[in-house]
Amino acid sequence: MKIIVHTDGGARGNPGPAAVGVVIEIIENSEFRIQNDGTKQKTKLITEFGKRIGEATNNVAEYTAVLEGLRTINNQLLTINKEGEKIEIQFFIDSTLAVNQLNGLFKVKDAKLRELLVQIRLLEQEIGGVVIYAYVPREQNRRADWLVNKALDG
């Protein structure tokens, strides 16, 4: 089972009113590789949403978007993965800081981000399988970005 998740988080002001955008798809062919060059694999949309998260920083919003993506996958796991296949989840995020921290390359110093990271790691373990975090430019994360702005404007 190969799942693609595009997430974005944003705040108007830093901190300020914040929201997340999440797009979750399943890859319909058997190939699974990091697609950060703009090419598109054939996917099936599972769900997408944007929602306000109150007052937060941009970085807290980015982490919260990942957490919401993992929560959604975990809540829908039996529906998504009826065959009980091994799960591979590829997150595409347009924040290099978040990607480097989630991949363990940079330390997480902020207390709120550390708290969110603990929740993320617990969900990764609960879901099982492989979780990969990859950077993509904003242009390749348009839908998640649009969902953030729609939630903030709504």
What are the extents of the domains in the chain? 2-153
Say if CB 74 and CB 124 are below 8 A apart: no
Predicted local confidence at residue 71, as pLDDT? 98
Distances (CA, A) of 112 to 60, 87, 148: 7, 28, 20
Say if CB 120 and CB 89 are below 8 A apart: no
Predicted local confidence at residue 42, as pLDDT? 82
2-153 — its CATH code? 3.30.420.10
Rounded (10°) angle between helices 58-80 and 111-127: 10
Q: What is the mean pLDDT of each run of 10 residues along the chain (154 residues)?
A: 97 98 86 54 91 98 99 92 91 98 98 99 96 98 98 96
Predicted local confidence at residue 81, as pLDDT? 87
Whole-angstrom distance, CA of residue 89 vs CA of residue 154? 30
Q: How far apart are the first and last CA of the chain?
A: 34
124 alpha carbon, distance to own chain's centre: 12
Predicted local confidence at residue 29, as pLDDT? 61
Whole-angstrom distance, CA of residue 141 vs CA of residue 29? 21
Whole-angstrom distance, CA of residue 85 vs CA of residue 20? 29
Q: Residue 65's closest CA among 24, 108, 104, 107?
A: 24
Predicted local confidence at residue 140, as pLDDT? 97
Helix, coil or strand: residue 24: strand
Predicted local confidence at residue 36, as pLDDT? 56
Query: Residues near 10 by Cβ (< 8 Å), separated by ≥ 6?
Result: 18, 19, 58, 61, 145, 148, 149, 152
